Structure 1
Amino acid sequence: MNEDLVSGGIYSDLLNQFEIILDSDPLIDEVGFIHPSQFATLNAEAGSSLTTSDSNSLQCIDVANQENASFWVRDHKLGISTHVLLPLYKAAKHAFMSALVQHKVLENPLETSGDKSNLLQFSSSCNSIESKVMRHSRALILLSCDFGTAWNSRKLIVSKQQHMSTFIDELLFSGLVLSYSPKSEQAWCHRRWVIKMIAQKCSALEEIVRKESELVEQIAEV
């Protein structure tokens, strides 16, 4: 595949569209891969129950009605066309690896100036690159759930930030991966690690364990 198409062409645009969808609906709780022939059926089913007040559904239908549709989103469910899986994966991998290289450079600077303005600029650059790594790793993992480097990069950044909200987001994200790949070893390992980190910071571990048990039961019933 032409590298220019991956890094700056139509496949980059495809990745951008995918990531915008993920950003716009953080409550997506199920992912599926759909043959292009199924989009018409999904649109028909969605249209029969669509109301004019349901702006979120209207937006999703617009996405799915595009010619050669790539994505379908409604009621926090995301469908990805099997037709775009390979180019989307390659674009996500390229973007992630590029961001990861930048992150490693910032994590190991050759020189560190004590000037306050330089330190602030350096901190801002780190935050920006970390956001890119998290964003692109999310897309990549959803397309290749056992991509260990992507999971490890998330673990590195999350452990550095030590924000409870970020740990909760990681639980939700790993749950999303398990919605379509319930046997993903990387997703389960990441989830166990997140729970251990939360246990060190939060006394309400019983509630987390209860929800975890419910998730396991739901997956076992599938």
Structure 2
Amino acid sequence: MADHRPVDGAGENPLAELELILESDPLIDEVGFIHPTQLASLSGEEGVDAPGPKNPRFWSRDGKLGISTEVLLPLYKEARRAFFDAVRDFRTRCGSGGDGGGGGVGCEVMKHSRALLLVSSDFGTAWNSRKLVASKEESFSMYMDELRLSELILSYSPKSDQAWSHRRWVIKRIAGQTSSLPEIIMKESELVEKIAERSKMNYRAWNHRCWLVSYMTKERVMCELKESKTWAGLHVADSSCFNYRRRLMTRILEDLCCKDGVSSVDYSFEVYQCWKDELDWDEILIKRYIGREGLWLYRRFLSLCWIRHFTTHAHSTSCNSNYIAEQTTDPSFFLDKELDLVGSSLVVQDDHFDDFQAQALYSTTYILWLAKQMPSPLEIELRQRLTARNMNDLLSEFCPNSSFLSGSSAEDTK
């Protein structure tokens, strides 16, 4: 290993100082980069005669770690050099037939890569080296350390692709090896919600949460759907949250439609009621938050699945018709509700606000899209209902070139 010299003659080099802090406090759960003047004031709060350098580069207390922005560049250079030296020694040891993972060389790789990732969260080689060492060790405690490290990095870099990917890799490795996996998955979901609260429009976090659904039990999926409802209702502009709810709803249908499993009547009714409640809730949000396209897109998914699985027309095509048939509804009732919603949305109450215009446009495209997804009997019925409600002219105002409306008008003139 190369000798680590002091940086700019300032005593102990910053890498050794940082690694000492991390070793002495393994429960650090948040890291941030602080201007030197702010760092000095934080250190001053602990007392004027406090031991340590007069110009501190790090601050750590109560599980929080602050790093001076002044030391970032020399720290990165030192950590990068130490990391590649450790990797070189590790590969040499492995190439000569040695264990490499459980010995001191593997520990050096893990130690220096941790410091490097704290200042460069997307350093792919460092993440891959940690995977290599951890996979050789195959220790559950080491995998849990990896989850803690990636969570620490996400505290300052919540959109780090590498950090989220590393968490998925760890979960794949421990799946089937521990009985605590459901608890780990639940904590992962809570972590995403916590990060999404302070990092808006975080697609990577929500994508990770969608990925977790495949590891959830049926009961956990239902709980997630209920627990995320309030958050989604307060963040209707965040379409990633509704993509997550869509993934949960799809998983519910998958469980119901599983050919190898046997769904109970109670669970079938629970799914039916869940879908009905979701449609009603989405309608409330559409009326409350005018002009939100994401809500209309989410309704497309809900309505299409409702037609395919929960209407009387779905008997022959439903994946589990023996159970669902007992809870199916008349498609005419569903069409009436949707036309009531679209009709109320077509009324532009104020031309000065674009939201009302957008609401009318989204409602028009929604009903026209839905018509294209319907089987022929329901499409014909929809045409008749639009004509009976005198809605064709209103729809044509926002979609004048619609072939569906043109066909409907042609039939009406016959």
| TM-score, length of structure 2 as denominator length | 0.44
Match of 2:87 in 1: 100
1-side partners of 2:3 and 2:38: how far apart? 29
Q: Is the 8 A contact 1:30 1:78 kept in 2?
A: yes
Q: Is the 8 A contact 1:103 1:126 kept in 2?
A: no
**Does 2:8 correspond to 1:21?**
no
Match of 2:115 in 1: 139
**Does 2:143 correspond to 1:167?**
yes
Gaps of 5+ in 2: 199-414
2-side partners of 1:76 and 1:176: how far apart? 10
Deviation at 1:106, TM superposition (A): 1.1
Query: Which structure has the bigger radius of gyration?
Result: 2
Deviation at 1:125, TM superposition (A): 9.1
Runs (4 or more) in structure 1 with deviation over 6 Å come to none
Aligned pairs for 1:1-222 within 5 A: 7-11=3-7, 13-45=13-45, 62-63=51-52, 66-109=53-96, 122-123=98-99, 127-222=103-198
Deviation at 1:31, TM superposition (A): 0.3
TM-aligned CA distance change 1:62 to 1:75, over 3 Å: farther
Q: Is the 8 A contact 1:7 1:91 kept in 2?
A: no
Identity of aligned residues (%): 55
Match of 2:355 in 1: none
Gaps of 5+ in 1: 1-5, 48-57, 113-121
TM-aligned CA distance change 1:220 to 1:124, over 3 Å: closer
TM-aligned CA distance change 1:75 to 1:125, over 3 Å: closer
1-side partners of 2:114 and 2:13: how far apart? 16
Deviation digits for residues 74-127 of structure 1, max 9, x if unmatched? 101000000000000000000000110111111112xx5xxxxxxxxx558961
Greater relative CO, 1 or 2 (CA 8 Å, sep 6+): 1
Aligned residues between the structures: 192
Deviation at 1:41, TM superposition (A): 2.9
Deviation at 1:148, TM superposition (A): 0.3
TM-aligned CA distance change 1:75 to 1:62, over 3 Å: farther
- Aligned-residue CA RMSD (Å): 2.1
2-side partners of 1:101 and 1:91: how far apart? 16
| Stretch of structure 1 that moved more, 8-17 or 96-105 | 8-17
Q: Is the 8 A contact 1:106 1:126 kept in 2?
A: no
| TM-score, length of structure 1 as denominator length | 0.81
Deviation at 1:40, TM superposition (A): 3.3
| Stretch of structure 1 that moved more, 143-152 or 100-109 | 100-109
